[in-house]
Structure 1
């Protein structure tokens, strides 16, 4: 099941990827064969990504951290050229789009829309930066 990308919006719009919208494989750790995520959502002000993990834990990842830690080619090149990703104050999440069977594409208010986060990578970020 492929979900269509929603049109980009200038103002932050709360988006949710609920478990019902994913195919079964989308919430599984492909390597370990275990269900990982129950729900992905943005906070009402779209400044954080909320990940509800299987087992009841919840992580709140700031949009700025997600943007800074993006692994797409553009972000990787920016880190090579500048040492780090410049993140604007007030950065928000504008859209969440399922990618394949095990990841999510996060769109940001600075126009960056190529950041794909496999669920396993979200777990790593949650362990490192989450609360």
Structure 2
């Protein structure tokens, strides 16, 4: 399995992130799925405290930045920008989605 995708793009008016791997094609993750899967300390604390994440209408991925060769930092329209998403974690999330 290739860990790093060969292409990363925002799709569907930035409401999805499309990742293309050489061994399995393109897998798409929705912005809401990505936001809820953030491993940032503040998000883990929110989940532990049982606080529901409210997603506003029009929510989207505002941008992304590569972190070395191992991950992406995702920037969301609600201002959350602390989550680091390793390639392996993004692929795991994408493969866990229902077909």
Q: TM-score, normalised by structure 2?
A: 0.88
Count of residue correspondences: 99
Per the TM alignment, residue 60 of structure 1 is displaced from its structure 2 partner at its CA by 1.0
Q: Which runs of 5+ in 1 are unaligned?
A: 1-31
Moved over 6 A (4+): none
Per the alignment, residue 47 of structure 2 pairs with: 79
Matches within 5 A, 1:22-37: 34=2, 36-37=4-5
Q: Which runs of 5+ in 2 are unaligned?
A: none
Greater gyration radius:
1
CA RMSD of aligned residues (A): 1.9
How far, CA to CA, are the matches of 1:129 and 1:56 in structure 2?
15
Per the alignment, residue 18 of structure 1 pairs with: none
Kindly indicate whether residue 83 of structure 2 is the aligned counterpart of residue 108 of structure 1: no
How far, CA to CA, are the matches of 1:39 and 1:70 in structure 2?
21
Match of 2:9 among 41, 56, 59: 41
